[in-house]
Structure 1
Amino acid sequence: MSYPLSVLDLSTVLPGQPVAEAVAASVELARTAEEQGFTRIWFAEHHNFPSIASSATAVLLAHVAAHTASIRLGSGGIMLPNHSPLVVAEQFGTLAELHPGRIDLGLGRAPGTDQRTLMALRRDPSAADSFPRDIKELQGYLKGESLIPGVDAYPGKGTDVPLFVLGSSQYGAQLAAALGLGYAFASHFAPQMLEHAARVYRESFEASEDCPGPYFIAALNVIAADTAEEAQRLFELSQRFRIRQMLGRGRDLDEDEVTMLMHSPAGEQVLSMTRYTAVGTPDTVRDYLDAFRGRVGADELIITNAAPGLEARRRTLQLLGEHVIARG
């Protein structure tokens, strides 16, 4: 039996690649995902990462939406404490007016960057404390039921864009459950609390008008290829890229340095973040996805397309479409 399968696109900028080319690749992948029947594509807000082109998330979403026709698009997520809820409501309300029925709004509590960049964002470090209140304020704008008398979101009012809480801990699970919202767990890079958070979310969920029952999305990394050998080769390249991305910021590492870092305590910690990664032929990946979903009781899976290079990522989506989504 099939289940909703979605994509978290990190809009990866490869070394030496123009940003415009990376964004064009995201558009091509979105079109492929749409053709293959994926449910949604989300982009994440990150700052000060030269390898990620999705910092202006709403702008990128507008561009991808204009080049696709039906697939749902959204944020995975907008880091709400970085922003005014009113501005987020206006941005996503505009998207919803331009592309009705296609826009999601996933919300995170972390800054999506380091402490120095947090200061450059003009963010108060205590802003995360108001995350629950900010979600309610944002929801009020989008429903046309503003919590602030005399203030509405134009555009945004009445668009009722679906909200999801994103997280990697018990806190996010409890908050999503208390607010009666869908919950997406970032197990593609923070695997430790996955099963516990899924259980807490379901056990404490309080039904709401928007979400009458719990809706749990689990994330994982996927590399599918026509042969096991090719999938393994791509996996090793992706691991090396991750080491460069996470441990080589600001430095141009040669291959020997990357190899050394991979076997260092820091490198092993970085690679352990991708514990949940499906690698192999379509049958192998399908079996992994089925077992992973069953273990955590996920209503939907969202994958990061970990293969390096546009063609390899497109092929992963095609194989998933043919062997997972098309099962019906």
Structure 2
Amino acid sequence: MFGIPLSVLEVAMVQTGARAVDTLRDTAAFAQGVERLGYHRIWYAEHHHSPAIGAFPPVVLTAHAAASTSVIRLGSGGVLAPNHAPLTLAEQFGTLAALHPDRIDLGIGRGPGTFDEPTARALRRGAGPATDAEYEGDVAATLSFLVDEVALGPLPEPWLLASSPAGAALAAGLGLPVAVAHHIRPDNTQAVVERYRAEFAGSRWCERPRVLLCVEAVCAETAEEAAWRVGPMDVVRAGLLKGLSELPFPTPAQAAAHPFTEEERRVLAGFRAQQAVGAPETVVGRLTELVGETGADELMLTTPVYDLGDRIRSYELIKKYSGTAAS
């Protein structure tokens, strides 16, 4: 129905009462599960100092998943340039690409990966937030080091993450494929896509504009079950609206008992309407709309739900009802 590849963003949510080792075990099982379903690639996000999301380096998760899968593409979505030396990123992902040819992606983003200022400063060795010029220089240097210093064999496929027109302009100017963070800033999506296509200049990395659209998608057999599963993320998101980044990822039952304010319910409903949550026909219909509106070349789905089996089931239903189920 979509006619384009379907991929996965893994944010490694840490369940209430779980240990880091439990989340890491689930992460490996999840990669194997979506590979069996025929998804094209899986990316790992960089986060720090959050009880709801594991602080697992994308390069480590990529290496672990690559060793336990065989065909699915893997990489960062993204590794955050301000937190890392460009040469280090080039060496890490260049090595992974040499070990797993034609399977490794290097998705680069800008944010600090945390709402905690001391943690952000620690990641930057005491420095403040990166300026536009510093970020652009880090991205350009990483690409240069990949070619000039690493060159171990097949190179990773570089992508730039963007949630604003400025990020789109940088991706276009460098001739990189762009991953649009619709799951974070949906109101910016159309402006990001339009600016990227308008300003794109081909490069050794990408001859024509390529748009990957990342969408939050939670699919279940019924709308009621999907709402139940998305409840824990609603609690975390409501906390972020209040500036609270320390909330753990609750169970669905805990989320159902959470006392949301009317304003929180309104904002959460508005956000959910721009994503893809519900029964299979609703989710696939919404994803089809987004592809039509943006002309995306690939869809990447992120599904922050509590139970591993429920997450895999969501991806299975979307594959089945979109007509792209693996044979």
What letter is aligned with 1:142?
L
Q: Give 1:111 deviation, angstroms.
A: 1.1
* More off after superposition, 182-191 vs 111-120: 111-120
- Structure 1 residues 219 and 125, CA gap change in structure 2 (3 angstroms): same
Q: Is the 8 A contact 2:51 2:247 kept in 1?
A: no
Cα shift readout 1:145-184 (whole Å, capped 9, x = no counterpart): 2xxxxxx23xx54542111110210111000001100111
Q: Counterpart in 2 of 1:170? A: 165
Please tell me whether residue 291 in structure 1 is matched to residue 294 in structure 2.
no
Q: Counterpart in 1 of 2:10? A: 9
Q: Counterpart in 1 of 2:136? A: 132
Q: Counterpart in 1 of 2:258? A: 259
Q: Calculate the aligned-residue CA RMSD, in Å.
A: 2.6
Distance in 2 (alpha carbons) for counterparts of 1:42 and 1:123: 28
Aligned counterpart for 1:116 among listed residues 105, 112, 118: 118
Distance in 2 (alpha carbons) for counterparts of 1:125 and 1:52: 23
Distance in 1 (alpha carbons) for counterparts of 2:67 and 2:186: 34
- Structure 1 residues 245 and 325, CA gap change in structure 2 (3 angstroms): farther
Distance in 1 (alpha carbons) for counterparts of 2:122 and 2:266: 31
Q: Give 1:191 deviation, angstroms.
A: 1.3
Identity of aligned residues (%): 36
Q: Give 1:249 deviation, angstroms.
A: 4.1
Q: Counterpart in 2 of 1:310? A: 308
Q: Aligned runs of 1:190-269 on 2, under 5 Å?
A: 190-243=185-238, 248-250=244-246, 259-260=258-259, 262-263=260-261, 265=263
TM, length-normalised to structure 2: 0.88
Q: Give 1:28 deviation, angstroms.
A: 1.5
Please tell me whether residue 49 in structure 1 is matched to residue 47 in structure 2.
no
Q: Counterpart in 2 of 1:24? A: 25
Q: Counterpart in 2 of 1:67? A: 68
Q: Give 1:228 deviation, angstroms.
A: 2.7
Q: Is the 8 A contact 1:142 1:158 kept in 2?
A: no
Q: Aligned runs of 1:172-191 on 2, under 5 Å?
A: 172-191=167-186
What SS does the corresponding residue of 1:127 show, helix, strand or coil?
A: coil
Distance in 2 (alpha carbons) for counterparts of 1:270 and 1:179: 35
TM, length-normalised to structure 1: 0.88
Q: Is the 8 A contact 1:81 1:123 kept in 2?
A: no
Q: Counterpart in 2 of 1:101? A: 102
What letter is aligned with 1:60?
L
Gaps in structure 2 of 5+ consecutive residues: none
Distance in 2 (alpha carbons) for counterparts of 1:259 and 1:205: 45
What SS does the corresponding residue of 1:41 show, helix, strand or coil?
A: strand
What letter is aligned with 1:287?
G
What letter is aligned with 1:16?
G
Q: Give 1:270 deviation, angstroms.
A: 6.4
Gaps in structure 1 of 5+ consecutive residues: 146-151
